Amino acid sequence: MEAAPEKLEMFYEGKAKKLYATSDPDLVIAYFKDDATAFNAKKRGTVEHKGIVNNRMSELFFNLLEHEGIATHFVRRLNDREMLCKRLKIIPVEVVVRNLVAGSMAKRLGRTEGEVLPFPIVEYYYKSDALDDPLIIAEHAIAFGWATPDQLRQINELALRTNDVLRGFLDQRNIMLVDFKLEFGRFDGQVLLGDEICPDTCRFWDKDTHEKLDKDRFRRDLGGVEDAYQEMLRRVES
Ligand code: C5P
């Protein structure tokens, strides 16, 4: 295996991750923190070992997706909390795929959480803390130059394929994939899947009990947050 490039200055600190430049301009190191925020950082806390779980789980899911032909920014995991990734030009559109009604969809449309959708629904949100990530339609992204029609077509296809792969994998582990958020970026003229895939960015419910095994335990003060993250890791590693 090639030696990891040298870690240089931190150039971005988000709610859950820090990003470092490296001696290779095409690569960055993502450092996964234990900090947890919700409701656009109006609620803050820490979840012990969360960074370790999210790093490891993202590695596992990115490897699975790459194996299924979905190109991602993942290069390799470096240690407990650090991952080597390709440096993307992030497309400022958060892509949410939903299989069941939950969270903001339940609230916005007055539907019951847990209602099964007849087909997976892809939603777009404009990535803007100042505006609380508003729901948008594809034409907004095109009109304001956030993504081209072709990139959006690719994103839509990649998001639905990701859903199929993750859903199948999780179903075998007795987990329902309720919904999840993806981010994409450009690298070398290609659209790659970026960010992370973990209990911070997905809703995972136990198939039998509907117990929540994701960040909703933190958002809704349900307790047992650390245990839920560990249990999810145990199941995806099994
Ligand atoms: O809150 P909402 O129901 O729109 O979230 C849908 C899915 O996207 C959830 O799995 C949530 O964890 C994820 N999400 C995220 N980051 C955001 C908004 C939503 O990871 N900024």
CB of 37 sitting under 6 A from ligand 1: no
Measured from the Cα of 180, ligand 1's closest atom is 10
Tokens 């809704």 sit at which residue? 220
End-to-end Cα spacing for the chain: 26
User: 38 pairs with which residues across the strands?
Assistant: 43
With cut-offs at 50, 70 and 90, classify the pLDDT of residue 3: confident
CB of 99 sitting under 6 A from ligand 1: no
Percent share of the chain, pLDDT over 90: 98
d(CA 205, CA 203): 7
pLDDT tens sequence across 7-37: 999 999 999 999 999 999 999 999 999 999 9
pLDDT tens sequence across 105-138: 999 999 999 999 999 999 999 999 999 999 999 9
Give pLDDT, residue 32: 98
Query: Measured in angstroms, how far is the CA atom of residue 26 from the centroid of ligand 1?
Result: 28
pLDDT tens sequence across 137-189: 999 999 999 999 999 999 999 999 999 999 999 999 999 999 999 999 999 99
CB of 181 sitting under 6 A from ligand 1: yes
CB of 96 sitting under 6 A from ligand 1: yes
pTM of the predicted model, to two decimals? 0.98
pLDDT above 90: residue 70 = yes
Q: Are 215 and 36 within 8 A, CB to CB? A: yes
pLDDT above 90: residue 1 = no
What does the mean pLDDT of the chain come to?
98
d(CA 45, CA 153): 37
Query: Measured in angstroms, how far is the CA atom of residue 232 from the centroid of ligand 1?
Result: 17
pLDDT above 90: residue 2 = no
Pocket-testing residue among 17, 90, 96, 115, ligand 1, by greatest number of atoms within 8 A of Cβ: 96
With cut-offs at 50, 70 and 90, classify the pLDDT of residue 75: very high
